[in-house]
Amino acid sequence: QAVVTQEPSLTVSPGGTVTLTCGSSTGAVTSGHYPYWFQQKPGQAPRTLIYDTNNKHSWTPARFSGSLLGGKAALTLSGAQPEDEADYYCFLSYDGPRVFGGGTKLTVL
Partner 1 sequence: EEQLVESGGGLVQPGGSLRLSCAASGFTFSRYWMHWVRQAPGKGLVWVARINSDGSAINYADSVKGRFTGSRDTAKNTLYLQMNSLRAEDTAVYYCVGTGKVSYWGQGTLVTVSP
Is 46 a binding residue for partner 1 by CB under 8 A? The answer is: yes
Least spacing, CB of residue 77 vs partner 1, in Å: 19
- Angle (CA) 40-92-66 rounded to 5° is 65
Q: How far is CA 22 from CA 3, 6, 9, 59, 83, in A?
A: 10, 5, 13, 22, 22
Q: Which stretch binds partner 1 (CB under 8 A): 15-23, 35-43, 64-72, 77-85?
A: 35-43
For 32, the 3-state DSSP assignment is helix
Choice from 17, 41, 57, 63 touching partner 1 (CB under 8 A): 57
26 is a contact residue toward partner 1 (CB under 8 A): no
Residue 76 in the binding site for partner 1 (CB under 8 A): no
* Cβ–Cβ under 8 Å, residues 102 and 5: yes
Shortest distance, CB of residue 75 to partner 1, whole angstroms?
15
Q: Is 88 in the site for partner 1 (CB under 8 A)?
A: no
